[in-house]
Amino acid sequence: MSDPRTTPSIFTRGAVDLSTLRPPAPAKPAAPSRPAPSDGAPATGTPGAAPGAVPGVTPDTVIEVTEANFQSVLERSLTTPILLDFWADWCEPCKQLSPVLEKLAGEYAGSWILGKVDVDSNPRLAQVFRVQGIPMVTAVIGGQPVEGFTGVLSEAQIRQYIDAVLKAAGVSVETPADPRLDAADDALMTGDLDAAEAAYKKILAESPADAAAESGLAQVELYRRISGADPATALAKADAAPDDIEAQRLAADIEVLSGQAEQAYARLVALVKRTSGDERDAVRKHLLSLFSVAGPDDPAVAGARRALASALF
């Protein structure tokens, strides 16, 4: 995802004048079911949820933002990114989005703060941030608003947005484990290739650039290709017939699974040099599929890519 500070956003229609939010007159007491917050007080979770119902939510992860405490929220954004969730009791989509935001706030353990803004109780905040529909989420970094989104997004898309905000703020954190990926990996490890394939494809449908899911799907395909093969026999056949494309591809698959990825890459690069036309293209695509198994950051893949480029051109 691109840096939120350099992409078009709702704020391109003009500067957001946050200075208009001077401390207002004391707010009138709220109804007993929604106690008036103290300065930066923790929110009580999704509308209708009991306090503390969201695992990981603490006063340092989720706060209720009001016109009265907004200046202190801006000050907190100087050191910690704030995500503002504009919502209302009557908004059904808000009830879908808010629990996901609260869950992620707990998972990220204070690397960013979720600020919940009730637009009905805080109309000036809604006006200043030009809220035209809810739910709406925007971030505040260093006292300044940046790109946000309106409507309900998938959890994967929200994670991408949060990671982009953290990157823009210069915050380095370990990305929380993705339970969808854990489930897919578990299916792969237990040999349920159909379930693993479906799970990885679902992740990629929601997050097309997810390298871990791409690698997982490539592993599923790899396991299917070697199903029923005897490694020793396959490798011997490849050694005896260096120009047998199917034998060389199977041997490369076995070498990757045996921890000899560099040898597998070299085998197929050499085959690319000896082939042409459709055969060469088939070998090239097979090699690229093996690169996907390792992932883009593997140094052996980087070297093999350069060798492949030299063989092709």
Q: Which residues are the active-site residues?
A: 91, 94
Cα radius of gyration (the chain):
26
Nearest to 116 by CA among 97, 130, 132: 97
Cα–Cα distances (Å) from 177 to 67, 115, 180, 183, 202, in that order, read 35, 23, 9, 11, 17
Rounded distance between C-alpha atoms, residue 69 and residue 23, angstroms: 8
The values of phi and psi at residue 89, to 5°, are -60, -35
Residue ranges of E strands in the chain = 62-64, 82-87, 113-118, 136-141, 144-150
Question: Within 10 A of 288 (CB to CB), how many other CB atoms are there?
Answer: 15
Q: Return the ∠ at Cα 148 (arms to 143 and 151), rounded to 5°.
A: 140
What angle in degrees, to the nearest 10, is found between the helix axes of 231-240 and 245-257?
Answer: 140
